[in-house]
Every structure is written in structure tokens, then in C-alpha cells.
Chain A
């Protein structure tokens, strides 16, 4: 599985994390995703919008039209529920990463007393 396919599975969590830093429109979110990943997460940009709409339909994001750079932009921000879901996802992810790292490091098999 390629890196792009892997990131698709976590796209919603990543978008929540970026929006948590402040309200942003779709283009800015795509740019932030690319920049923060050092260019690794270079998804087809169209895939980000269905994810944003899904998060909004689930009540994790709220959106509104706002004036910016001389045109109307749809700006997304995290809802209260979005904050709590993101906190839970961060915790789950940290636990998952710790478990994978423990296995990859080749920690000794616990002895059976």
C-alpha cells in the first residue's frame, strides 16, 4: 500500500488536527497538509472536500462563508464535539504508535514465570 493510500485512512483525523489550530478554508488546509508532512501527503486535492463535508455532517466541523482575498471562501472550524473527538483520536493514535514501535524495536518477549 502506498503512502497516499495510507494517509487516506487517516485523512479526517489529520484535517481535524489542522483545523484545531484555527479556522481555515479548503485550499489552506490542503497546503497545510502538504507543508506539515514535508510534501509527503500530496493527495489529489479533490479528496479533501468530501472529507470536510463528512466531518461537518458528523458535527465535528462547522463552516461559513467568509470574505478573503477579494472573494467568498468557505471557512471550517472545529466544533466543541470536534475538539473532544480529536483529543480521543490523538490518544488512540499515540497508543497505537507506541505499540507498533515496541514491536518494531524488537522488545524481548515477556518471560512466562
Chain B
């Protein structure tokens, strides 16, 4: 029927434009319900069905004018980003505290380190979730998966070629995450920039065989930690004061 064609085409356009929104199906169903109710009301008022469908679609508006508003909602803070911010804030400190008290045991990672290590990773996933509306579904999950899987496998026994692949995966995931976080601007850009600059400096220093205990390495590491804490504190604190625009 022509009425179904008009509405179906409109809903298909909305569906395509909302590709990365996690409540896409719900939105499309809500709009379908709205349009059908409007059509019924217009038909009851004496319009033909086709005319009513066209008027209903026109009154709802051009999808390009409102779909972007849905994508912004994806990136709103929620309780997960809040708690992940707290986890990411304390994770590195607990990690360093435990690492400092653990005896060196060759290449083996002491098990007590894993809990704070995963707390830190939770903080990173929080950053991805906070900006996921702009990441796109695939890019967001691939960034998280690269870091979480790469770091987990690497930390729990990835040596040799597996270790190298893990390091590459973690770096690729971090680059993706930092780039999108900076571009979106939902979290402080200077914090993202601090992490990126300090991270690259640190990797370059370690790569050039600089002594791990040297002052420049400590300085770069501390700067990286400051940027990270800044980002995580923002995640933790912003959910408490979230409020929609007036």
C-alpha cells in the first residue's frame, strides 16, 4: 500500500542515519507508532490515506535535523562511566603500591597486580563508553577490545611474538581511544593531549634503551599519570552534576 511505502521509506532513512545509536530500534518503533497515530487522526479528519501519510512524515520533520541529537545522548555520562572513573583513578596507584612491595620474579607477573590492573582497564573502557556515540559501534568496541585483550593476554603470560602482538594491539587501541576522545571533546582535551604526549615520550625513551629509573623517564611517567587521573576524575565527577540543558 502507498501509505506503508511512505512511512517505511521514512523509517528506513531514520534507521540508516541512527546506525550508531544503541537505542536505534526503540526510536524507530516509537516514530512508527507516532506516524501511524498521526495518519489515523488525519484520515479521521477527512484526508486520504496517502495524503495523511505524507502530511504525517512532513510534520515529523527531516530526519537529518534531529538524529544528531540522539547521538549526543549516547555520549552522556551514566553510572558506569562514573564508577569506572573511580576505578581508573585508584587503579594505577594501587598497582604501583603493590608492585613496589612485590619481589621481582623474572618475567612472571605477580597475581596481586591483576586486580588493580583490571581496575585501570575499567577506567579506559569508561572513556570509550563516555564517547561511544561518536566512536561508532565497531570502532568503539574494537578500541576497547584491542586494549583489554592485548593487555590481559600480555600481562598474564604473553611472551615472544605473542607479547609483541599484544603490545601492538594495546598501542593501536590506545591511539584510537585517545584520538576519538580528543576529537569528541566530551572529556578535557588538555588531559587527552597530556596523556598522548607523555605516552609517546615514554615509549620513545624506553625504546631508545634509556634507563628505566632515570629522571626523564620518571618525569614522563608522572606526567602520563597526571593526564590519566585528570581524565578519570572528570569521568567520576561529571555524572554527579549531570543535568540536561534547560
A12 in contact with B33 (CB, 8 Å): no
Please classify the interface of chain A as helix (H, G, I), strand (E, B), loop, or mixed, using the class held by over half of its residues.
Answer: helix
Count of A-B residue pairs with CB < 8 Å: 81
CB-based nearest A residue for B38: A27
Q: Name which residue of chain A comes closest to B245, CB basis.
A: A12
Instruction: Give how many B residues have a beta carbon under 8 Å from the other chain's beta carbons.
Output: 29
Contact of A44 among B30, B34, B60, B243 (CB under 8 A): B60
Are A89 and B65 within 8 A (Cβ)? no
- A108 interfacial by beta-carbon distance below 8 Å: no
A contacts with B, residue count (CB < 8 A): 28
Q: Given A45-B60, A46-B61, A58-B76, answer yes or no on A10-B246 (Cβ-Cβ < 8 Å).
A: yes
One digit per residue, 1 when the CB lies within 8 angstroms of any chain A CB and 0 when it does not, for chain B 78-112 equals 10000000000000000000000000000000000
Which residues of chain A are near B26, meaning CB under 8 Å? 74
Q: Is B33's CB under 8 angstroms from A74's CB?
A: yes
Q: Pick the most buried of B23, B66, B76, B242: most chain A CB atoms within 10 A of its CB.
A: B66
> Is residue A32 within 8 Å, beta carbon to beta carbon, of the partner chain?
no
Q: Are B66 and A55 in contact (CB under 8 A)?
A: no
Q: Which residues of A contact B66 (CB under 8 A)?
A: 44, 46-47, 49-50
Chain B CB within 8 A of A2 CB? no
Contact flag A49-B27 (CB < 8 Å), given A71-B33, A74-B33: yes
Residues in B whose Cβ lies below 8 Å from that of A58: 76, 242-244
| Cβ B29 vs Cβ A72 within 8 A | yes
Which residues does chain A contribute within 8 Å of B78, judged by CB atoms? 57
Nearest CB in chain A: distance from B209 CB, A? 49
Contact indicator B63/A46 (Cβ below 8 Å): yes
Q: Does B34 contact A45, Cβ atoms closer than 8 Å?
A: yes
Q: Does B171 contact A (CB under 8 A)?
A: no
- Complex CA distance for A60 and B69, rounded to whole angstroms: 18
Question: Is A83 interfacial (CB-CB < 8 Å)?
Answer: no
The digit string for B33-67, where 1 denotes a CB below 8 A from any CB of A, is: 11011100000000000000000000111110110
**B238 shortest CB reach to chain A, Å:** 12
Given A57-B73, A58-B242, A89-B246, do A72 and B65 touch, yes or no (CB 8 Å)? no
B31 contacts A by Cβ under 8 Å? yes
Contact status B244-A49, CB under 8 Å: no
**Shortest CB–CB separation between residue B83 and chain A, in angstroms?**
15
> Knowing A45-B59, A55-B244 touch, does A50 contact B73 (C-beta < 8 A)?
yes
A31 to chain B, nearest CB (A): 9
Rounded to whole angstroms, the CA-CA distance of A45 and B62 in the bound complex is 10
Binding site for A on B (CB under 8 A): 23, 26-27, 29-31, 33-34, 36-38, 59-63, 65-66, 69-70, 72-73, 76, 78, 242-246
Offer 10 A-B interface pairs, CB within 8 angstroms, sorted by A. A44-B60, A44-B66, A54-B69, A54-B72, A54-B76, A54-B245, A60-B244, A72-B29, A73-B33, A74-B26
